[in-house]
């Protein structure tokens, strides 16, 4: 196996071969010259590639040459880092990091450390809002077999609208406690369920009753709309 000690440039044509089919875990960054100074990003990536040579692959994708890959993975804010293991997306982060800031993510990618928490100063993480976290493994038991109506918030840590919606979801979880279940599902970590329900944009909120989907909304809606939809299911 070739040991790369420098970043690799890829595009839509090479994405499948370089990223998805890679035998090594891959740190992929989507970027553009308008979003970040080229030299600054190159310096960070070069140091990371050199340090983790033989353990991970560092891949750069200029969005001008990777529009299909960008759309497939919902990359909006640039630069954005996507971390792949055995062809599967397991995490993402955004912004221009230092090598030290990237290290915890790479250690997580290599299964040598916990998943870092993405949180801006003074801001609550979307993962911190109330509501029961559900996964691919327990979705059927928790959601589909629930004795009460269920609202599932399909979200991701990198999603700014999800963070904007988090306080609304938190309030609904408190207000409907005992009458309805408010749950949250991280689409990056639970892609099977997200694909099963055709979730393409986030936040997507799906309402369930007796194990069946009865309604859904996409995006950030006024709190009263979500409240009325839940009330209608009681």
Burial class (CB in 10 A: 0-12, 13-18, 19+), 162: buried
Helical (H) or strand (E) element with 195:
helix 191-196
Which of 150, 208, 212, 215 minimizes the C-alpha distance to 179? 150
Q: In whole angstroms, how far apart are CA 133 and each of 21, 168, 183? A: 31, 16, 6
Task: Give the catalytic positions in this structure.
Answer: 159, 162
| Strands, E assignment, the chain | 8-10, 26-31, 57-62, 80-85, 88-94, 132-133, 150-155, 181-186, 204-209, 212-218
């Amino acid at each position: 196996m070739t040991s790369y000690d420098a970043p690799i440039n890829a595009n839509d044509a090479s994405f499948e071969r370089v990223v998805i089919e890679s035998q090594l875990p891959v740190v992929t960054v989507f970027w553009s010259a308008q979003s970040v100074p080229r030299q600054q990003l190159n310096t960070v990536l070069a140091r990371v590639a050199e340090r983790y040579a033989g353990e991970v692959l560092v891949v750069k994708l200029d969005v001008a040459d990777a529009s299909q890959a960008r759309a497939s993975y919902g990359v909006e804010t640039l630069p954005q880092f996507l971390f792949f293991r055995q062809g599967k997306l397991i995490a993402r982060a955004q912004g221009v990091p230092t090598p030290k800031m990237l290290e915890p993510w790479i250690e997580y990618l290599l299964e040598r450390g916990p998943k870092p928490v993405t949180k801006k100063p003074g801001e609550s993480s979307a993962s911190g809002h109330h509501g029961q976290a559900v996964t691919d493994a327990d979705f059927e038991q928790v959601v589909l077999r629930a004795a009460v109506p269920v609202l599932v918030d399909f979200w991701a840590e990198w999603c700014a609208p999800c963070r904007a919606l988090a306080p609304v979801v938190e309030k609904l979880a408190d207000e409907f406690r005992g009458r309805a279940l408010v749950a949250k599902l991280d689409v990056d970590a639970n892609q099977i369920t997200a694909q099963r329900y055709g979730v393409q944009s986030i936040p997507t909120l799906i309402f369930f009753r007796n194990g069946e989907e009865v309604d859904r909304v996409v995006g950030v809606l006024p709190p009263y709309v979500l409240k009325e939809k839940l009330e209608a299911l009681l």
